[in-house]
């Protein structure tokens, strides 16, 4: 069975500092991995995905994520946080041949000015 873990309920970072939001996954076979962001009262917005290839994936709004197979991790990173990055971030996994995504519980990112 698939599962995704986001160990931190909230991450606090000062504007301009680098940020990391952690995600680990458990998938049989090769995973499809995604990050989505949710702003208040909005739907989820796609940030980036890993399917195959380069372990470092670049996405929207300056975000990137690193796939680490040995640690089964897919942490989201950004070199310099903005106050406007404050939102709820979800990691998700999928497997080939199936459409469903399994989401983590979400991590609230709070960037202070």
Partner 1 sequence: EPEVTQTPSHQVTQMGQEVILRCVPISNHLYFYWYRQILGQKVEFLVSFYNNEISEKSEIFDDQFSVERPDGSNFTLKIRSTKLEDSAMYFCASSPTSSGPGELFFGEGSRLTVL
Contacting residues toward partner 1, per CB under 8 A: 32, 34, 36, 41-46, 49, 51, 90, 92, 94-106
Residues 59-83 as b or e (16 or more Cβ within 10 Å = b): beeebbbbbeeeebbbbbebeebee
Residue 84 Cβ, how far from partner 1 at the closest point, in Å?
19
Tokens of 77: 């990173």
Question: Token pair for residue 39?
Answer: 């702003």
CB of 102 to partner 1, least distance (A): 7
The nearer residue to partner 1, 3 or 12, going by C-beta atoms, is: 3
Smallest distance, partner 1 to C-beta of residue 18, A: 26
């Amino acid at each position: 069975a698939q599962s995704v873990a986001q160990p931190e309920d909230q991450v606090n970072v000062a504007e301009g500092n680098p940020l990391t939001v952690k995600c680990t996954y458990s998938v049989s076979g090769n995973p499809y991995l995604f990050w989505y962001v949710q702003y208040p009262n909005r739907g989820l917005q796609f940030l980036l995905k890993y399917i195959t290839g380069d372990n470092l994936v670049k996405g929207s709004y300056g975000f990137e994520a690193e796939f680490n197979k040995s640690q089964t991790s897919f942490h989201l990173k950004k070199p310099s946080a903005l106050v406007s990055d404050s939102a709820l971030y979800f990691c998700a996994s999928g497997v080939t041949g199936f459409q469903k995504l399994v989401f983590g519980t979400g991590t609230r990112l709070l960037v202070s000015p």
